[in-house]
Amino acid sequence: MSGVVEATERAARVSTVSREIALLRGRNGLALAGVALLAFGAIFTAVKARRSEEVDIAITLRLQARQHRPVAALMEVVSWPGFPPQSHFIPPLIIAILFVMRLRIEAAFQLLAWGTGGISTIAKGFVQRPRPLPEQVRVVLAPLGGSSFPSGHVLTYVGTYGFLAYLCYTLISPPLVRWPVSLGLVGMLAVIGPSRIYQGHHWPTDVAASYFLGTSYLITVIALYRWVRGRGQVTQDDPIAE
């Protein structure tokens, strides 16, 4: 266990860059977070004004027209972690594993990243948008309830598994492990949105808004995490300390 911790700490030190580059990355990241938040606001306004319904139905029917068993199976598998009860214990399990590995800061920020689930609940209360109906599109039976906007699956995945992908990419040293794990998590984020539309559980604007809002939150969490880790790793040997 200590070897894993030492490896992650070495990887973090090696990835440390100059203060100027770190500040530039931080500014660019926060600018992107702001743009994503504005995009969410624009979709939110359109949905509240009911200006997206025709486009939503057209896109959904087009996507659902591709009826292939492997595609349907993939959509079901990707969505599975986001349904209860597994959605209630997978994120805490990830946090617990990080804590046991003595990655206390990472565990704390993984918990913070999981906060997108709470944001989803709050946002749903403001919109109260009905979910797609079988009369409109094909709907796969699932334990669903509440408002359709935004997509809780997408929003929670972007925060929880997006931050986990970032940790895996930055802390795992062996490329043969780092790349498959990181890309696998990113791939799951890319597919979860279409899966919610394909299964008829959400409208395309629900998914798009969730991606934008989740990305804005994720970038902010990553920026804060980098700042905290940077302060804790400043030593005489680190470039940032020069």
Residue type, 172: I
- In this predicted structure, what is the pLDDT of residue 29? 78
Of 5-9, 137-141, 229-233, which has the strongest mean pLDDT?
Answer: 137-141
The single-letter code of the amino acid at 64 is: Q
The answer to whether position 96 is within a domain reads yes
The model's pTM: 0.84
DSSP characters for 103-164? -HHHHHHHHHHTTHHHHHHHHHHHH-PPPP-TTTS-----S--S--SS-HHHHHHHHHHHHH
Residue 93 has pLDDT above 90, yes or no: yes
Looking at residue 68, the DSSP 8-state letter turns out to be -
Query: What's the rounded mean pLDDT across residues 193-206?
Result: 94
Q: Ranked by mean pLDDT, which of 63-77, 134-148, 203-217 comes out on top?
A: 203-217
Distance in angstroms (rounded) separating the CA atoms of residues 208 and 150: 9
Considering the domain boundaries, does residue 239 fall inside one?
A: no
Q: What is the mean pLDDT of residues 35-42?
A: 94
Local structure of 18: helix, strand or coil: coil
pLDDT confidence of 193, banded at 50, 70, 90? very high
Query: How far apart, in Å, are the Cα atoms of 135 and each of 107, 138, 139?
Result: 44, 8, 9
Q: Distance of CA 175 to CAs 16, 159, 168, Å?
A: 18, 24, 11
Q: What is the mean pLDDT of residues 204-227?
A: 95
Residue 11 one-letter amino acid: A
Q: Is residue 123 part of a domain?
A: yes
With bands split at pLDDT 50, 70 and 90, how would you rate the model's confidence at 26? Answer: low
Please report whether residue 240 resides in a domain.
no
Q: Give the mean model confidence (pLDDT) for residues 108-121.
A: 93
Q: Stretch 155-169: mean pLDDT, rounded?
A: 96
Q: What is the extent of the structural domain holding 59?
A: 2-234
Band of pLDDT at residue 143, cut at 50, 70 and 90: low
Residue-level pLDDT at 230: 80
- The answer to whether residue 32 scores a pLDDT higher than 60 is yes
Specify the length of the chain in residues: 242
pLDDT at 228 over 70: yes
Rounded Cα–Cα distance for residues 60 and 193 (Å): 12
pLDDT in tens, 200-209: 999 999 999 9
The reply to whether 242 falls in a domain is no
- Tens-digit pLDDT profile for residues 81-91: 999 899 999 99
For residue 241, being part of any structural domain is answered with no
The average confidence (pLDDT) of the chain is 85
Domain annotation covers residue 160: yes
Domain assignment present for residue 77? The answer is yes
Share of the chain above pLDDT 90, in %: 59
Please state the domain count of the chain.
1
